[in-house]
Amino acid sequence: MDWSWLPKYLPMLPGAIFVTLQLVVFTMVFGLLLAIPLALVQVTGPKWLARIARGYCTFMRGTPLLIQLYLFYYGLGAIFASYPELRQSFFWPILREGYYYAIVAFALNEAGYLGEVLRGAFLSVPKGELEAARAYGMSPFKVLSRVWLPRALRNALPALGGETILTLKATPLAALVTVTDIFSVADKVRQETYIIYPPLIMVMVVYMILTFIITRIFNYYEKQIPVRR
Amino acid sequence: MIPEVLTFGRNGFADELLRGTLVTLYIAVAAFLLGLALGLLGATAKLYGGIVSRFVANIYTTVIRSIPELVLILFLFFAGTRGISTLSELVGFGPVNVNGTLAAILVLGFVQGAYSTEILRGAILAIPVGQIEAAKAYGMSTFQTFSRIIFPAMLPNAIPSLSNLWLEAIKSTSLIMVTGASAELGGIARSAASFTKRYFMFYFVALLIYLALTLVSNIFLQRLERYVRRGQPKLA
């Protein structure tokens, strides 16, 4: 085992961890924001909208994330590049960056999974609570923001923790589209020094630690929820 | 109107994509079965094993399940192919080139094994203890208890999660293409896309094929679940 590369490449790690965490947070936040309407229309929406939302979730959950990411980065990227107006525009530096493609692809994918999670969570809120909220004269939006959504999110918290870890484990895919995340450090070491295993082992340990921390954070919040036993 | 690059024959990639789909299915089936075998072993080790086997099984599931699949696949792929090659050199066969498809099956199967260990362990734990005790009281041997009571009683608990794992197996075959060593669907789509420069179309077609595979699997899995649940009360 050759660890001589470590001093030179270790300083890259904090920044790389930060990029990975950014990917996780943005994916979960945007995914959740998208998933709320996706789940809502499946529970209360008109049939045709519910069908579309269901189809979306099925598609995202039934196909590999890597190919979805490639579809965005290479597929859409090539289409964008074919418009000269776009290349000269102010958006081009953003449209070239793998980072944004990764976040968009991850968030759209995660929305499919979270939509399914939230659908169950919305259904698990007791009907009486929603009726009580309506009886108080709350508008449908207020019922959602004050009663239905907070209750659903609480019920879904364990599943959300699991999804966050799955998202963390999906983030190394971003390294394949030039994002400088944790995994990209191992890739860089391999390309520059031809050392394969030690950097991969380091990266694995970092991911294990992050998984552990995220589990702990969610456990903490799960314990904050008052339950009657 | 189908574009020419999607037709069969010399100018089209349809036959290549079809072959890639078959390779993907082959890898997924073999890896899933290998994972099931490992899972059965791991679950037995965790539930009935001694201290050492329990410890090994715990390390296996914890480590594998907390590391991203992509990283694991790359690591195991490099380590595995080199390991097998070194082994054959030691035995005296000279270095061998491990076939990419076989390596993919072994690597994915090893990863899947960790997840099926946990699924099977949970499914076995969910069997009412009385049933196993009753089997023992009837004088059944360990093997008979397993094959007649534990296995069939565990299936209804395990099938839903195992179905998800199977879908995961299909989807994770696409990760093999980062090793650049396999002719599965994702890899074929990538070479076709970069050859024709029609990235969007080929990746989209690949996605549709994956979707078809998972949808068809779903139909069969739902039937299977209904079959293993026969005679049981309906779920809420």
DSSP for residue B146:
I
Give the minimum alpha-carbon distance from A204 to chain B in angstroms, rounded to a whole number.
6
In this prediction, residue B95 carries a pLDDT of 66
CB neighbour burial string for A114-153, b if at least 16 within 10 angstroms, e if fewer: bbbbbbebbeebeeeebeebeeeebeeeebbeebbbebbe
Q: Which of B207, B210, B216, B222 would you mutate first to test chain A, the one with the most A CBs within 10 A?
A: B207
| Residue contacts between A and B (CB atoms, under 8 Å) | 105
Asked if A79's CB is within 8 angstroms of B200's CB, the reply is yes
At residue B1 the predicted structure's pLDDT band, cuts being 50, 70 and 90, is low
Quick: pLDDT tens for A121-174.
999 999 999 999 999 999 999 999 999 999 999 989 999 999 999 999 999 999
Lowest-confidence segment of B7-11, B25-29, B104-108, B210-214 by average pLDDT: B7-11
Quick: pLDDT tens for B149-161.
999 999 988 998 9
Give the minimum alpha-carbon distance from B76 to chain A in angstroms, rounded to a whole number.
10
Give the minimum alpha-carbon distance from B199 to chain A in angstroms, rounded to a whole number.
5
Asked if A71's CB is within 8 angstroms of B204's CB, the reply is yes
Helix then strand then coil, % of chain A, to nearest 5: 85, 0, 15
Q: Which of B200, B214, B215 would you mutate first to test chain A, the one with the most A CBs within 10 A?
A: B200
**Which residues from A are below 8 Å from B75, CB to CB?**
197, 200-201, 204
The first and second tokens of residue A123, run together, are 């259904």
Give the minimum alpha-carbon distance from A190 to chain B in angstroms, rounded to a whole number.
12
Tell me what ipTM this predicted complex has.
0.89
B72 interfacial to chain A (CB closer than 8 Å): yes
Using CA atoms, how far apart are residues B7 and B161, in angstroms rounded to an integer? Answer: 38
CB-closest option in A67, A71, A183 to B71: A183
pLDDT at A38 over 70: yes
Quick: pLDDT tens for B64-78.
999 999 999 888 888
Quick: pLDDT tens for B111-139.
999 999 999 999 999 999 999 999 999 99
Asked if B190's CB is within 8 angstroms of A75's CB, the reply is no
Residue A90 φ then ψ, to 5°: -70, -20
Query: Average pLDDT of A102-122?
Result: 95
Using CA atoms, how far apart are residues B12 and B1, in angstroms rounded to an integer? Answer: 14
Q: Whole-model pTM?
A: 0.91
Residue B127 φ then ψ, to 5°: -75, 130
DSSP for residue B8:
S
